[in-house]
Structure 1
Amino acid sequence: MNFKQYFENVNHFITYAFVFVVHMSTIVSFTAYANEDNYQLIKVAQLEHQLLSQPNWQQLIVNPSNKQQYFVIRESGQVYLVDDDQINPQAILDMGVYRQTDSSLFKLTAIELHPNFSLRDQVGYGTFYTAHIETINKNSKTKRLEGRGDDLQLNFDAVITEWQFSAVNHQKVDVNTKREVLRIGVPDSLMVIKQLSFNPYVKSWNDNFGLLYAALNGGEKSPQSLYSGVILRIDPAKFGMRSFRVPNNNPYIKNSQIHDAIYLLGGQKIKQFIWPGKHSKHILVSHQYNNKYLLSLTDGRDDWRDSESKQVLYQSDDAIHDVFIYRGRQLPLLRSKLLLLRQKEQRWYIDSFAFDFSDNKKNRDKKKPKIEWSITSEQLPTDSQIILSSNHSGEIFLLEKTINILFRLTQQALVNENVAASDENNTRETNLPNNSIFILLFILVLLGTIYYWFKRNRHSVKVIVRQQFSALELSESCQQVSLYHRHQKNAEATIDIVDIVSSEIKFNEHSICIVNTQLGHGFNNDREQDLRAIFVNEKTNKMVDGKIRQISLLLTDKQKNGYTICLYMRKGSDRITKKSYVQVIDELMDWCWLIGEKINADSTGKRKVKSIVLPKEKAGIESNNKTPLHHQAAAIRVVTHQMYNASQPLATGELSLAQGVVNEDKPPAKLGDKESTEVHNHHPKNTIDAELVNALEKLVNLKQQGFLTMDEFSKAKEKLLKTLLEK
């Protein structure tokens, strides 16, 4: 794009931007307020099926591997998959089969996915945990936490179990992977594990990554620490002969009167807990304490058995059913607010808090929740039972248990209201034009700067490398390939090789090789030679300033998802990528052979294996072979391009030139003419064979590198055979 075209484009852009800004300013001048209470429910999925009677759903959780799927659990012990907008009536896991007897107690109460659930080749891939309560099983060998006391009768077990999805069927749980992590002996069937959670803000490189938090419901003013309403913190991974491990930084690990796994105690009836933010060291606990409903902050070192928390954010006489911090984008008026789901007089409300968690107690007491949305009887039945949840992007989901429908909360278009302006506002509006001109000029300059920056960086080679994947890595099993962005150690995407349907090589944005499942689109030695010839030909061209040399690989899977990997990028004398040109070409050839054998074996030939050369022999050959390949090819090309016919032998000078190129690895002769002739006439047959093999290998190497055409190769080979066999 020349300067004139660029200037015209900028003028057009600024003109359109000016019209847009003026139009928006006119709209804003007539818009005074927006309706902040205009919310509605949109049906997402039907969780009712004729094969499911009275499901009594307990919890809904999103599948991080698929944005359209959710896992939902029943109290009777089943886990179901919700795909798109329907529920699969066939359970992916039925824990009810592990019930000891038909009359014994068994209730599934919580589920949680491992943080690495969707990351292949990582510890925790396809792993999740469940919590249930059952009649005590005295035959279990799993480690059991129990309270101390002679008069304490423990008739039930609260159990945490680890499961893994099948490696073959990703929508089915492998029941053989069942592993009990922990059992807690409890005296009452109401003392259940209400919640299992991993801290979502802790990453794999942090020390506390993979620690599981479990909230065990307790009784009022229980003297037993374990049954006072606790949050446990453990590492659920198997550690030697132990089914779990207690972190060394747990707060009560040195207190012999309190179990090591306890992180918080004295919370009584804990309903829920969440992490307020990525930089917060506290946990926000929603619990019923002395018949009051509290929201309390804790850093894990609190004992609330004798007195309530010193950091109570909110206290209410009405039950708080769910606590949620909105992180989505579709409801801007609720973003970063703490939302409370409450029911009062058979009507549901969503309240919000908008305050800093670092506020002191005095400021917190002054702040009261604001009613954001009152759910009407037309939207949901008055006897509704609601579970609050979220999807992968943090949007609010409501699961209505009586009609078994999953809803998403949305906001209608903002409604304009005409507000009468006061005399004071009219006076201020007289100065609006001058201020508006200044604002418009500022916006136009800003838009022009953004447009220029965008055009300048649109075709930047560094931007291209950053946007595309920069490396691919084959797994040890040769079944998956991992894709990495630049300067990243963790794989951004992982693809099963069986899911790849096409592999396309692009050289300077031009397609030069496609390997796919179609007939004749495999890979063979001829295609490898053709590719190498293209790359060698480009290698001989000089890289002037501004010239770009790029090698990319485009992979396409069965879902028609495209993955572009920029393997080599160079602009002028600056190489952007790490690997050299030759190394990238060799690895690219290996990949073409591999993917050809995997997805189109019938159309893929057998690769010619190069002979193995020992290091000492290779060093000797390299020391003697001082003539560059393109010089050797030029010497042979002089001979082969002469007028050739079968009846006319080569001139003496031409013959010696060809022999000099072919036999350049031999040291120069030091014998006299007579001795040399005698040696030539009595040349051993095995020496002639060795020379013939070496010469032919050299010609094949020159052809594969692209220095000789097929016609030149054939003529040179014919002359070589004729010359050497006459010896």
Structure 2
Amino acid sequence: MNTLRIIIFLAFYFLLVAWSSSAELSFKPFATLPKHIAEQVIAIYPTSKYDQHFIVASASGELFILNASKGQPELTPLNHNLLTENDNSRLLAIALHPNFDTREQNGYHKFYSAHQVAIDQANTKASRIVGRQFNKDSLEQDIVLKEWQLSDSINLEEVTVREVLRIGLPTSNTAKVQLAFNPYHRAWDDNFGLLYVGLSAIKGFATSPLYSGSILRIKPEQFGLKPYTVPPTNPYVENAEINQEIYRFRLSQLGHFTWPDRVNETLWIDHQDEQTHKISRASNPLSTVFRYKNLEISEFQILPYYGNQADQLFGSTLVVSVHQDQPYLVSLTKHASSNDYQLTPIIPLGVELPVKLFHDAVGGVLMYQPSTGILSRLVNNLADSKETLVTDSNTGLDKLIVFLIMLSLTSWGLWHTYRKINKRRFSVTSFYQQQFNHLELSNDDSVIHLFKPHQSVPSKSLAIGNLAGIKLLINNISVVELSHQQGMTNDFDNIWRQTCNVEKREKMTDGKLRHIQLAITDNERQIYLVSLYLRKGDNRISKASYQAALINAVDWAWRLSTLVAPETTEQRETSSDVIIDKSRPIKTRKTFLNCSALANTKASSALSGDNTINVSDKDKGEKCSEESKVETKAKQIADTNHEQKTDVNDFHLLSTANTTEESRALAENNGLTRGQTDAQIILALEKLVSLKKQNYLTEEEFEQAKAKLLNGLM
């Protein structure tokens, strides 16, 4: 059977190789924009990862929604202009917030725009950045950066706008600006949501760092009265000669910058100085990645490819270049024998320059032709090649072979999948792999992240403000329950620890589960279970030990309680390093019966009118009162055999007869008298030996009980 599987796999592999060899890449048009806006398009952004909707921005300040999911794409204008009549300028750039399509997150339906206007000397409240050598009177123009918040329906008629900053310019010439966010950052990253603003060099003023070709980095969110803040990680925060918003400068004619690597945060910058056109890595100082040599580039632009249409291009950087007198899509890749980069032609474009490259929703490439308004997508013709290969077969035998191979592979795959699913259906390890097992709080304690095993990226993030309650569970039984009205207390802490100690003493037989969980409930009554400890029989599934897990659980209960219910959370008395008291003797049925007997003795004393209470009995009563809190939970969790408990109960009743006032109460309640026969004592000794062999009694308990029985013979 294994040989047959290998043969089927190899046959299918070579078949795929044969089909893949005929695959080709090409740009396939899917939409055409009207002529009156075609040459003014400055940006095209996908609005969502799950549909074919794009935002199209024009230099006139108009925004459009392009719906390419239909057979005939539709272009719908948004009834609002980003520029007012007083601006008398053109839109320079826009950028969508990374959370633009993520509901209930900061940044949802939010974007930023930049345009250039004449300076308003009367506007004294504007937050303006100027070169250190310049003052307000020497400025002629402003680059205005604004924040736009759209409604859920992406309607500009229901919009809020806020001015973030202005960049003062000492000239009236139109500046070149780029706005961008790092698309690979996630909400839990430290630099998430930082806006990069590229400003090309201002001719005649390149001695100023701001106007020498620079990239600014800011956090555009409002903070108190400040319309934006400067990240403390900016390199020139403490340099009085350079604007603290500047991230890199002296880039001359800045064309385009991007992030080619999903892991490395280093920028790649396409720019040109007086000597050469090059791509530089934004290290400090700059380092050259590649220098163009005698190549005509249609426009400053570099675009990393992370799409699913061309595996051979995945992770490479794309540019448009003239090769053999015609425009080509070219990849910038490392040379196999050195660390030098080289340009490798991929496919001819077959169109006239200039063209512009944009990203689609999945990291693929869009090509836009301003002269014609045609928008195309880079596609792989593999599907067409498959159909051609099968259709052009000269014999029916070829079709039959392909059909049989596909049928055999599909059948084997279904059979193998069925066996695997059936085998793992009741697997505890499989169950654990699907559960959350780790949680972390964000730096500002506003979000809690839930992780599954072997994941470095959280599977779920919950806002602290949306939490409704927390529970500590052991074996799916709730021990501690917290909410907005009830915070964590030291009594809850003690109950949890003592309950865990009782469960620890239960013998782990084959098939028995021991499970510690933290349950988090949100305002929508959705429950998220975090498995901190899981064990089945002798096999511990979770990494953490039982001791570490119970401490971790109660620590998280205290920490989350201070965030969810700070007013009702007590001051913690127990430190987090408290461990299980392993030296404490094993709690047996005798202990519980003694408490009951003591209660019965007190009740009978009260009926007889005797108000005298022994001091030792009073202490025992207090101890029983404390333990009764734990036993309420312990009786639900303990999973011992009823008959074995009865044997232990009978044995202790016999062994403790004629000893104390407490034991007399036990003896009377169970119908025992002082006049025990020798046969009864011998029977008790046999039970004693049997229980010791079954490990229900320690050596010390066995000797003590035997001594008491032997005293009964004398």
Under TM normalisation by the shorter chain, which class is it?
0.5 to 0.7
Residues 192, 357 of structure 1: alpha-carbon distance in 2 compared, 3 angstrom cutoff: farther
Q: How does 1:38-117 map to 2 (within 5 A)?
A: 40=28, 56-62=40-46, 72-77=56-61, 85=69, 95-96=82-83, 99=84, 101-102=85-86, 104-113=88-97
Residues 248, 27 of structure 1: alpha-carbon distance in 2 compared, 3 angstrom cutoff: closer
Letter in 1 for 2:277: L
Structure 1 residue 230 displacement after superposition: 0.7
3-state SS, counterpart of residue 18 of structure 1: helix
User: Is 1:372 equivalent to 2:347 in the alignment?
Assistant: yes
Structure 1 residue 125 displacement after superposition: 8.6
User: Is the CA contact 1:60–1:70 (under 8 Å) kept in the aligned structure 2?
Assistant: yes
Deviates more, 1:227-236 or 1:548-557: 548-557
Q: How does 1:295-374 map to 2 (within 5 A)?
A: 295-299=278-282, 312-320=291-299, 322-341=301-320, 349-356=328-335, 367-374=342-349
User: Is the CA contact 2:503–2:637 (under 8 Å) kept in the aligned structure 1?
Assistant: no
Which of the numbers 248, 257, 263 marks the counterpart of 1:273? 257
In the alignment, the residues of structure 2 paired with residue 265 and residue 287 of structure 1 have an alpha-carbon distance, to the nearest angstrom, of 10
3-state SS, counterpart of residue 8 of structure 2: helix
User: Is the CA contact 2:469–2:520 (under 8 Å) kept in the aligned structure 1?
Assistant: yes
Which of the numbers 168, 178, 181 marks the counterpart of 2:162? 178
Structure 1 residue 109 displacement after superposition: 1.4
Q: How does 1:28-427 map to 2 (within 5 A)?
A: 33-37=21-25, 40=28, 56-62=40-46, 72-77=56-61, 85=69, 95-96=82-83, 99=84, 101-102=85-86, 104-113=88-97, 129-138=112-121, 139-141=123-125, 142-146=127-131, 154-162=139-147, 178-198=162-182, 200=184, 212-218=195-201, 225=208, 230-236=213-219, 243-245=228-230, 250=235, 256=241, 261=246, 263-265=248-250, 267-268=252-253, 270-277=254-261, 283-287=267-271, 294-299=277-282, 312-320=291-299, 322-341=301-320, 349-356=328-335, 367-375=342-350, 386-391=356-361, 393-398=362-367, 408-413=377-382, 415=385
In the alignment, the residues of structure 2 paired with residue 213 and residue 19 of structure 1 have an alpha-carbon distance, to the nearest angstrom, of 52
User: Is the CA contact 1:144–1:185 (under 8 Å) kept in the aligned structure 2?
Assistant: no
Structure 1 residue 286 displacement after superposition: 2.8
Partner of 1:16: 5
User: Is the CA contact 2:217–2:234 (under 8 Å) kept in the aligned structure 1?
Assistant: no
Q: How does 1:509-588 map to 2 (within 5 A)?
A: 542-544=507-509, 548-550=513-515, 565-571=530-536, 572=538, 574=540, 576-577=543-544
Letter in 1 for 2:174: L
In the alignment, the residues of structure 1 paired with residue 131 and residue 571 of structure 2 have an alpha-carbon distance, to the nearest angstrom, of 67
Q: How does 1:469-508 map to 2 (within 5 A)?
A: 469-471=436-438, 482-485=449-452, 491-495=458-462
User: Is the CA contact 1:147–1:224 (under 8 Å) kept in the aligned structure 2?
Assistant: no
User: Is the CA contact 2:206–2:213 (under 8 Å) kept in the aligned structure 1?
Assistant: no
Letter in 1 for 2:213: V
* Paired-residue identity, %: 17
3-state SS, counterpart of residue 354 of structure 1: strand
Structure 1 residue 287 displacement after superposition: 3.9
User: Is the CA contact 1:481–1:495 (under 8 Å) kept in the aligned structure 2?
Assistant: yes
Structure 1 residue 216 displacement after superposition: 1.3
Letter in 2 for 1:659: N
Letter in 2 for 1:158: I
In the alignment, the residues of structure 1 paired with residue 91 and residue 20 of structure 2 have an alpha-carbon distance, to the nearest angstrom, of 53
Q: What TM-score results when the alignment is normalised by the length of structure 2?
A: 0.56
In the alignment, the residues of structure 2 paired with residue 151 and residue 538 of structure 1 have an alpha-carbon distance, to the nearest angstrom, of 74
Residues 22, 147 of structure 1: alpha-carbon distance in 2 compared, 3 angstrom cutoff: same
Partner of 1:444: none
Which of the numbers 600, 603, 627 marks the counterpart of 1:659? 600
Letter in 1 for 2:435: Q
Residues 395, 151 of structure 1: alpha-carbon distance in 2 compared, 3 angstrom cutoff: closer
In the alignment, the residues of structure 2 paired with residue 465 and residue 201 of structure 1 have an alpha-carbon distance, to the nearest angstrom, of 29
Letter in 1 for 2:349: S
Deviation readout 1:38-69 (Å, 9 max, x if unpaired): 554567xx989xxx988954323456897877
Residues 76, 661 of structure 1: alpha-carbon distance in 2 compared, 3 angstrom cutoff: farther
Residues 105, 282 of structure 1: alpha-carbon distance in 2 compared, 3 angstrom cutoff: same
Deviation readout 1:673-709 (Å, 9 max, x if unpaired): xxx899944589xxxxxx9999999878755543699
Partner of 1:602: none
Structure 1 residue 157 displacement after superposition: 0.8
Residues 484, 239 of structure 1: alpha-carbon distance in 2 compared, 3 angstrom cutoff: same
User: Is the CA contact 2:303–2:357 (under 8 Å) kept in the aligned structure 1?
Assistant: no
In the alignment, the residues of structure 1 paired with residue 97 and residue 130 of structure 2 have an alpha-carbon distance, to the nearest angstrom, of 23
Partner of 1:669: none
In the alignment, the residues of structure 2 paired with residue 252 and residue 587 of structure 1 have an alpha-carbon distance, to the nearest angstrom, of 38
Letter in 2 for 1:542: K
In the alignment, the residues of structure 1 paired with residue 603 and residue 586 of structure 2 have an alpha-carbon distance, to the nearest angstrom, of 11
User: Is the CA contact 2:446–2:463 (under 8 Å) kept in the aligned structure 1?
Assistant: yes
User: Is the CA contact 2:298–2:355 (under 8 Å) kept in the aligned structure 1?
Assistant: no
When the two structures are aligned, how many residues end up with a matched partner?
567
Structure 1 residue 281 displacement after superposition: 8.7
Partner of 1:706: 635
In the alignment, the residues of structure 2 paired with residue 179 and residue 328 of structure 1 have an alpha-carbon distance, to the nearest angstrom, of 35
3-state SS, counterpart of residue 382 of structure 2: coil
Deviation readout 1:514-541 (Å, 9 max, x if unpaired): xxxxxxxxxxxxxxxxxxxx99998785
3-state SS, counterpart of residue 19 of structure 1: helix
- Once superposed, what is the RMSD of the aligned Cα atoms? 7.0
Structure 1 residue 93 displacement after superposition: 8.6
User: Is the CA contact 1:568–1:577 (under 8 Å) kept in the aligned structure 2?
Assistant: yes
In the alignment, the residues of structure 2 paired with residue 31 and residue 154 of structure 1 have an alpha-carbon distance, to the nearest angstrom, of 63
In the alignment, the residues of structure 2 paired with residue 502 and residue 15 of structure 1 have an alpha-carbon distance, to the nearest angstrom, of 56
Residues 197, 699 of structure 1: alpha-carbon distance in 2 compared, 3 angstrom cutoff: closer
Residues 499, 78 of structure 1: alpha-carbon distance in 2 compared, 3 angstrom cutoff: farther
User: Is the CA contact 1:61–1:389 (under 8 Å) kept in the aligned structure 2?
Assistant: yes
In the alignment, the residues of structure 2 paired with residue 559 and residue 384 of structure 1 have an alpha-carbon distance, to the nearest angstrom, of 52
In the alignment, the residues of structure 1 paired with residue 606 and residue 206 of structure 2 have an alpha-carbon distance, to the nearest angstrom, of 111
Unmatched tracts of structure 2, length 5 or more: 390-417, 479-498, 575-580, 614-619, 639-668, 670-714
Letter in 1 for 2:59: E
Structure 1 residue 272 displacement after superposition: 0.9
User: Is the CA contact 2:119–2:139 (under 8 Å) kept in the aligned structure 1?
Assistant: yes
Structure 1 residue 411 displacement after superposition: 0.1
Structure 1 residue 339 displacement after superposition: 1.4
In the alignment, the residues of structure 1 paired with residue 377 and residue 421 of structure 2 have an alpha-carbon distance, to the nearest angstrom, of 36
User: Is the CA contact 1:144–1:184 (under 8 Å) kept in the aligned structure 2?
Assistant: yes
3-state SS, counterpart of residue 188 of structure 1: coil
Structure 1 residue 331 displacement after superposition: 0.5
Structure 1 residue 257 displacement after superposition: 8.8
